[in-house]
Chains A and B, each alone.
Chain A
Amino acid sequence: MNKFSFVIPALILFFASCGKVYHLADVQGRTYRIEKASYPVDVRVASVIEPYKLELDKTMNEVIGYCEKELVKGKPNSTLTNWFADALQDEAQEISAEPIDFAVQNYGGIRVPVFGKGPVTVGKMYELMPFDNVMYILKLKGTDVKMLFDKMAESGGWPVSRNVSFRIEYGKAENIRIKGAALDTTAVYTAAIPDYIANGGDNMIFLKNLPSVNTGVLLRDMLIKNVKDLQAKGKSINPQEDQRITE
Chain B
Amino acid sequence: MNRRKFIANASYTGLLLSTGTYPLFASPSEPEIERLTILHTNDVHSRIEPFPMDGSKNEGLGGVAKRATLISRIREEQKNVLLLDAGDIFQGTPYFNFYGGELELKLMSQLGYDAGTIGNHDFDAGVEGLAKQMKHANFPLLVTNYNFANTAMQGKTQNYRIFRKGGVRIGVFGVGIELKGLVPDKLYGDTQYSDPVAAAQKWGEILRHEEKCDYIICLSHLGYKYNEDKVSDRVLAQNTSNIDLIIGGHTHTFMKEPERLVNKDGKPVLINQVGWAGIVLGRLDVYFEKNKKGTCITCKNLTV
Contacts and interface: CB of A to CB of B under 8 A. Distances in A.
Contacts of A130: 92-94
B23 A40 contact: no
A122 to B, nearest CB: 9
Nearest to B98: A56
A31 B288 contact: no
Contact of B270 (A19, A27, A199): A27
B15 interface: no
A118 to B, nearest CB: 14
B118 interface: no
Nearest to A30: B283
A56 B95 contact: yes
B287 A36 contact: no
Contact of B257 (A23, A29, A55, A59): A29
Contacts of B291: 20-21, 23
B215 to A, nearest CB: 7
A203 to B, nearest CB: 13
A32 B290 CA distance: 30
Contacts, number: 169
Size category of the binding interface on chain B: 35 or more
A34 B258 contact: no
Contacts of A132: 91, 97, 124
A205 B7 CA distance: 55
A33 B48 contact: no
A195 B298 CA distance: 56
Size category of the binding interface on chain A: 35 or more
Interface in B249-304: 256-258, 270, 272, 274, 278-293, 296, 298-300, 302
Interface string A20-63: 11111111111111111011111111101100110110011000
A26 B91 CA distance: 36
A34 B280 contact: yes
A39 B279 CA distance: 12
Interface of B: 6, 23-24, 33-34, 48-50, 59-70, 72-73, 91-95, 97-99, 103, 106-107, 110-111, 124, 167-168, 181, 184, 214-215, 244-245, 256-258, 270, 272, 274, 278-293, 296, 298-300, 302
10 contacts: A23-B291, A25-B300, A27-B285, A34-B61, A40-B69, A44-B68, A45-B65, A48-B103, A56-B95, A126-B97
Given A32-B280, A52-B98, 15 more contacts: A12-B24, A22-B215, A25-B287, A25-B296, A29-B257, A29-B258, A34-B280, A39-B66, A42-B72, A45-B68, A45-B107, A52-B95, A53-B48, A56-B98, A59-B98
Q: Nearest 7 CB-CB pairs, A to B? A: A36-B60, A42-B68, A23-B296, A22-B288, A22-B214, A41-B65, A45-B68
